[in-house]
Structure 1
Amino acid sequence: MYKQNQKPSDESARRSRGASRGNEKKQARYIPWRRLLVLTTVCALAGSLLWFWPALMKWVNQPIARVEVRSTFNYLERGDVEKQLAPWLENRFFYLDLEEMRRVVLEMPWVREASLRREWPNTLVVRLEERKPIARWQDDGLIDVDGEVFRPGLLDVFSKLPKLAGPEDRSQDVMQQYLAFSQVIRPLGVAVRELRLSTTDSWWLKVDHVDVNLGRDRRMERLQRFIRLYHSRLDDRWQDVRRVDLRYLNGASVAWKQL
């Protein structure tokens, strides 16, 4: 019985090995043409891209051929702005350092704010906000409504602006005080022509042609005292007044022009 059972088992094994060798031959003959085609196409595209990349980048990344400077140009000169930007315009479109260019433009005295952007293929757009001078500062500068001091050079055309003075780091305080004083005395029909803050925090102003000394403390209270004095004693003889000193506790002294 044992030998009879052994023969069929050997025969089955031979058949199994034969079938396995047949499958191996079929697998060996199978070639993944679709994968090969995709891989070949990808390699061809990659090679073409590498070949044409320098020419493509040269076409996309063009030199700057046009600069548009947009501003009100009340005080700025377009040519001065372009001159400041000229060293950076040698770079191509995508190589422009916009942050550095903005920093350089903001160093121009008349520029309050600036923004720069690219317009493909070859344009740089520059938007500028000019400073608006409110007064002269010291003898060599101007000050804007934000209290920022700037020095544009020639100041002859601004000789009629009021003059402010004080420590440089207190310029915003001086500007704010000037605006407050001006608003208070404007109904009198007179104007603040000069305002000065001393190093001891004492305030002095020139109202029209008259020197007005407010001192250090309670300056708005003392200015109200000046207004009352103007209405009661000074209005009719305003042209004869030379100086008003309000540093007293409850009064004021008036110096008159000599006739």
Structure 2
Amino acid sequence: MQLLPKLTLLALLAGNSPTIAQTISWNNKQCAVVLTYDDAIDVDLDNVVPALDSAKFRGTFYLIGSSPVVTKRLTEWRAAARRGHELGNHALFHPCDGSLPGRSFVQPDHDLHTYTVGRAVDEIRANNTLLAAIDGKTARTFAYPCGDLQIGGVKFYDQLKTDFVAARGVSPGLQTAVQVDLANIDSYMINGESGQYLIDLVKKAQASHTLLVFLFHGVGGGHGLNVALPAHRQLLRYLNAHEKEIWVAPMVEVAEKIRAAQQRGAVGK
């Protein structure tokens, strides 16, 4: 049986730490951090994968199946998956609800507002087939394009719960394992924030013994939503320096751990 770290036991005795079951949910560490990268863009392979590999971290890359970066760089995505990075599902065409404010970028052919639930489900499952052909895996997670959850008031992911381990949303928040909604996991979307801001979020997760999910798009360019390379490097350096206290893993692994704990009813509040 694996023993809890001495500091964790002391904290439990002092009454200022989560229950033992909660701590086990994060692999006996203070918190869990998941690094996710959306949209299958060149900087994922040019900047992010080398940085994560160098730090010996594994991230989750949410791939749009129709992205030309998937088609042109298939071998590199397959190699990344072999090194333990998760290739997550970000739908085949990244449909977003064009009826919402600020959605002038949505093309009519891929306007979620005009989709049926069946069409959305079919396209997402088709993307799963593509991803399995790349990495040979059946367990993965989903990320809602634009964070849109519904079509005509219907939550389309309800028909996909057996296809995925979990789904990542876009609402910010830090949650204990028992609080996590595996159908809509909270995440912090990063756009221009400093490295210190990223580190401060990690420190909050450590103090509260919670799950922290980062949602990145561009890293060092390549997207309208971007984080500077130095800021991203600063975050990775901090995570590396505190690897004994912070569990960094792909979303699918963290979600599987949470799901198992929730099913056991062993996660304390």
**TM-score of the pair, normalised by structure 1:** 0.20
Greater helix content: 1
**TM-score of the pair, normalised by structure 2:** 0.20
Higher relative contact order (CA 8 A, sep 6+): 2
